[in-house]
Amino acid sequence: MSPVSNPMLARRQLGLRGRILAVVVAVVLLLGLSTILFVEFAMRNALEEAARIQGLTISRGFATASLDAVLLEDVIGVNRLMAGVMESESDVVYLFIVDAQEQVLASTFTDGFPAGLLDANIPAEGDQYSLRQLRTEQGLVLDVAVPLLGGGAGVARAGLSETRMQRVVGRTRGVLLAIALSVVLLGVVLAYTVGRFIAKPLETLTETAAAVHAGDLSVRANVPSNDEIGLLADAFNEMLAALAAARDELEVRVADRTHELGEANDELAATNEELAATNEELAATNQALAEATQAKSAFIATMSHELRTPLNSVIGFSDILLREMAGPVTEEQGRQLGMVHSSGMHLLALVNDLLDLSRIEHGRLEPSLCEVDIAAIVKRTMKTLGPLGEQKGLEMRFTEGKKCCPACSDPVWIEQILINLIGNAVKFTDTGFVAVELRRESDDIVVAVSDSGPGIPRADLERVFEEFYRVGCESPAKAPGTGLGLAVSRRLAERLGATLDVESELGRGSTFTLQIPLDGPDATA
């Protein structure tokens, strides 16, 4: 395979060889420096130990030989002995004897005894000797002090120069550095050779990968080796062959799919034209529905106002006749007048509900918010509707939880909702109970109205809040109520920021739950 002409690829190849070379050189250099440091450290320790032994040997021999002369205070004999030691030991730079009174008895210093040398190395009581490394005019000196008769007769001091040891260390360091440089050069040559051996197959794989990246799946990596890199190249070539086959198959599939999509696009274009025509029809229908809805609302509002005046007259006159304010009536006339009065009241309630529903839909009915004592409204409603339930033999319950407090709402709307809920519970429950529970949940006041009535089918739970819908009543003429109470109640609850939900099960009664925010409608925004 011919090399790929790519400056970036060439830089990567050089970078690979450079990294291999750098790693090998770094390892060789690290090993060489470590060896030099170790050898120098071991040699220095050995030389220092040899110097210490030599110093102790010379000092102890000098101390033993000079003991008699010191005891006899024979200064001439001591000087003669020191001259012999200085002549025989080239590393000794000075010798001196300190008597028991800590006075220098004799020394090899001809130009005066150095200041501070006397106190620089004083053996502790009981020590057989004391070693100190001192920096003197003669250079770095190992000072050895040997007590005479345990220090009772004085101290013999000898100074051995460490200059020769330093020279030996320096020469050894130079030899080691030369060896290290030779090893580094050898390592560079070895690294370059190894780098070419390792990097060449990898460069071949890199060139092949670059050609594949450029879109040529016909190239193959030619790596004639049986090692792991050769196996990698074989696997890479197999992958390229599989990719080429897959590409050819994909091109065939894409061509077929493109043809299919072209046909589908033609069908979609025709469908879109039909949909556009349908959308225009729907838009026109929606406009007509909106106009019809607006006309319906306007008609309901107008008719509601027009019907309330004669209805109030019918209800008022029938009430006057029932009270016999216009004269006595017979029992049958009273019964008929009662039916007229009841029907009028029922019709007026329907008109009022229709009027409220129309106002809510047009946003003309706004709440009058104030601080409302919900418990007082519940008690008043129970007091009003309680006798109706007791007449049917129902048990009327009221439970007030702790921590209930006033809420910001509309008292008239709250009372209207509760009248609808409790009134429906009494109306549709023949035996058992009607229970009202008042409690606080977090930032809400909850009023739950439960009954032991027939219950509501699951499919009708949400439909009970629709206008004119009455559960279980196929014939509206036979259904009690107007079918608007719950619809109006939910609309009023939503305007107050409250929620009105129902839970029920056939044969086990129903529970309507009104949840009122303490802070008013804005608290639910």
pLDDT value of position 398: 93
pLDDT value of position 1: 44
Specify the pTM: 0.40
pLDDT value of position 170: 74
What is the 8-class DSSP label of residue 514?
A: E
Is the separation of the CB atoms in 477 and 455 below 8 Å?
no
Q: How far apart are CA 262 and CA 270, in angstroms?
A: 13
What is the 8-class DSSP label of residue 175?
A: H
| Average pLDDT per block of 10 residues along the chain, 525 residues long | 48 59 73 76 76 82 82 84 84 86 83 81 84 81 87 85 73 76 76 68 76 79 73 79 84 88 87 88 82 64 63 72 78 78 64 62 72 91 88 92 84 89 91 94 92 88 75 46 75 90 90 91 60
pLDDT value of position 3: 45
Within 10 A of 363 (CB to CB), how many other CB atoms are there?
Answer: 8
Q: How far apart are CA 115 and CA 102, in angstroms?
A: 14
Task: Tell me the H-state helices in 324-471.
Answer: 331-361, 374-391, 411-428
**Rg of the chain (C-alpha set):** 58
Q: How far apart are CA 196 and CA 190, in angstroms?
A: 10
pLDDT value of position 67: 81
pLDDT value of position 479: 42
